[in-house]
Amino acid sequence: MGTDGAAFEVRELTKDFGPLRAVDGLSFAVAPGEIFGFLGPNGAGKTTTIRMLTGLARPTAGRIFFFGRERTGDIKGAQHLMGIVADDDNLYPEMTGRANLEFCGALYGMERGERRERAGELLERFGLAPAAERRFGAYSKGMRRRLVLAAALIHRPPILFLDEPTTGIDVASARSIRSLLDAMRREGTTIFLTTHYIEEAQRLCDRIAFIAEGRLAALGTTEDLLASAREDNAVDFVLAGPAAPLKEALEEAFPGVTCRAEGGTLFVRSARSLGLEPFMDFFRSRAVEVREARREGPSLEEVFLGVTGSVPRKRKKGDRRP
């Protein structure tokens, strides 16, 4: 039995390609209705994990559960539970948008009337109704991505797997895909997505897993991840007077501490954790008034960097895959 109530779960999931261990003992469970983000640098094992979860690759070891039932050797038996959004190669360029959707419905064994109705509903919802009778091959990249997403949802799956849903499309199309995902989550669809864009994960995901070299490096809500990485090694003191005259004396008094003065603020950093009291004593002994002492936390990007050793990508306006 899998974990009670999980939409799906992996335990010690492992994949070797010859001598290379691409996925190394991953364990996590995704709750129904959750958007779960899977982030990691290139080659971390994200696609390989999705391929195992969706039955395109066979695990070397480990177990996979869908809604509590083990499906490790029989992912095909769980495929009615999942929609899969990979590349747009799985649709036919010479067929219209509508025909593509109806064809996908037929592959899932939906009856003609039902798939026609569902295709119409999805075209409407994804803003593709005006392009329904146009060839898929003539769609823009952003429209293609939306149709691929619609095709994955034709059979109303409770779980959606997306591998980099917004890579290579422009900012407006990416925003429209994100709002569609958000709406699906509100309706209870469980969404598992890989992304390189940390701000996308932060905006969209209920929880985020960072993976590096096939291993789970960190897992939690954005707040959890930020809190776990918040070390007491940075503190800013806002002083009543100019900060610069105190810089040298402070560094001398606290070996291993570096500080930067800017106007009335001293930004104090250390490799070790810093208690506030010794600094307050330092300021008191010099009759310096401290108006505020602020602890600075890391950004999610810094957490990612810390746990994966790699810098996440930033989306730029008009960003497209090279």
42 binds ligand ATP (CB under 6 A): yes
Rounding to the nearest 10 degrees, give the CA dihedral for residues 276, 277, 283, 284: 150
44 binds ligand ATP (CB under 6 A): yes
DSSP label at residue 30: E
Assigned token pair, 182: 């958000």
Identify the residue among 10, 24, 47, 100 touching ligand ATP (CB under 6 A). 47
- Among the candidate windows 36-44, 137-145, 224-232, 303-311, which touches ligand ATP by CB under 6 A? 36-44
**SS3 state at 71:** coil
Comparison of 60 and 233: residue with beta carbon closer to ligand ATP: 60
Provide the CB-side half-sphere exposure for 285 (13 A, CA).
10
* Nearest-angstrom CA–CA distance, 170 and 130: 20
Q: Integer distance in angstroms from the first to the last C-alpha of the chain?
A: 44
Comparison of 46 and 98: residue with beta carbon closer to ligand ATP: 46
Q: Is the dihedral of CA 293, 299, 300, 302 positive or negative?
A: negative
45 binds ligand ATP (CB under 6 A): yes
Q: Are 269 and 283 in contact (CB under 8 A)?
A: no
- Give the closest residue to 192 by CA, choosing from 79, 34, 55, 42: 34
Comparison of 47 and 222: residue with beta carbon closer to ligand ATP: 47
- Among the candidate windows 46-54, 152-160, 284-292, 313-321, which touches ligand ATP by CB under 6 A? 46-54
Comparison of 1 and 20: residue with beta carbon closer to ligand ATP: 20
Least distance (Å) from ligand ATP to the CB of residue 51? 7
Q: How far is CA 180 from the centre of its chain?
A: 16
Comparison of 47 and 166: residue with beta carbon closer to ligand ATP: 47
Least distance (Å) from ligand ATP to the CB of residue 54? 13
Comparison of 17 and 92: residue with beta carbon closer to ligand ATP: 17
Q: Identify how many contiguous H helices and E strands the chain contains and give both numbers.
A: 10, 14
162 binds ligand ATP (CB under 6 A): no
Least distance (Å) from ligand ATP to the CB of residue 151? 22
Least distance (Å) from ligand ATP to the CB of residue 40? 5
Assigned token pair, 310: 């790699």
Task: List, edge to edge, every strand of the sheet that includes 8-17.
Answer: 20-30, 8-17, 61-66, 69-70
Comparison of 20 and 287: residue with beta carbon closer to ligand ATP: 20
Q: At residue 305, what are phi and psi to the nearest 5 degrees?
A: -60, -45
168 binds ligand ATP (CB under 6 A): no
Distances (CA, A) of 150 to 83, 106, 118, 200, 202: 9, 14, 10, 20, 24
Hey, which residues between 51 and 90 contact ligand ATP (CB under 6 A)? none
Least distance (Å) from ligand ATP to the CB of residue 12? 17
* Nearest-angstrom CA–CA distance, 150 and 303: 34
Least distance (Å) from ligand ATP to the CB of residue 7? 21
- Give the closest residue to 218 by CA, choosing from 302, 92, 134: 302
Identify the residue among 13, 14, 37, 48 touching ligand ATP (CB under 6 A). 48
Hey, which residues between 16 and 35 contact ligand ATP (CB under 6 A)? 17, 20, 22
Comparison of 26 and 181: residue with beta carbon closer to ligand ATP: 26
Q: Would you tell me which residues interact with ligand ATP (CB under 6 A)?
A: 17, 20, 22, 40, 42-48
